Amino acid sequence: MNILDKIVRDKRLEVDLRKSIIPTSQLEASVLFNREIVSLAQNLRQSNSGIIAEHKRRSPSKSIINHDLNVQDVASGYEKSGVCGMSVLSDGKYFGGSLDDVLVARASCNLPILRKEFIIDEYQILEAKSYGADVILLIAAILSKAEIKQFSEFAKSLQLDVLLEVHNEAELHKSIMPSLDMLGVNNRNLKTFHVSLETSKKLSIKIPDDFVKVSESGIGSVSAIKELKPYGYKGFLIGENFMKTDNPGVSALKFIQNLES
């Protein structure tokens, strides 16, 4: 069983438990449920940098990244730096995150917020909306084509943006559908954790121009972004690069200044 299989197995148990504690009616009654969404896809289309900055405490591949920072400081720092959006890991067991992190980030900035999660149930999409997220992530590697369609259409019915993540051509082929806003290519092989920008380059020509192209993982330098932009990428998800510093906001600001200079 690879790490992704383990995460999904544990996620099913976690979601079943959450559903038994908090009914959907309670999620829909959240004060944030009817707020107007800030579109990440739109921000990326209009941006020069395209940076989506992440809040991530740890990961299965890197262990602890940073446990000392609070979400409020990271979110307000990212907003000041001029990033396009913020990704917030909400998985607890493997990434040290929580839905409360999404809530605090929402209260601390006006950036579009992506709930980065292993979504396997519509319930999690309602959670994302009720905790103030603007965007959900769907991972093709853990979903069938029917599930991608069901979850993306449900998210769109709630006015949420949808970022779908793929790792290879087979996942891309089963995923392309009108209910997606952004197609993300993850440069990390989930079985080996090996990272290569070639994955983004190779898949770029297969992604129709209707979708905002996003490259994820392994983007630790300005040169990596400059390398990928000619392939049509408008979004770049950067997590560890900023989070491993003492001040992710300042780190993101310097990165963007270097990128635009």
Q: Which residues are catalytic?
A: 54, 56, 116, 165, 186, 216-217
Of 43, 36, 34, which Cα lies nearest the Cα of 181? 43
> Which residue in this structure is represented by tokens 């980030």?
105
Which structure tokens are listed for 118?
């292993």
Answer yes or no: are the C-beta atoms of 133 and 102 closer than 8 Å.
Answer: yes
d(CA 143, CA 136): 14
Torsion over CA: 44, 219, 231, 184 (sign): negative
**End-to-end Cα, the chain, rounded Å:** 46
Give the contacts of 237 (CB within 8 A, at least 6 positions apart). 52, 54, 87, 184, 214, 215, 216, 217, 219
Which structure tokens are listed for 62?
């890197």
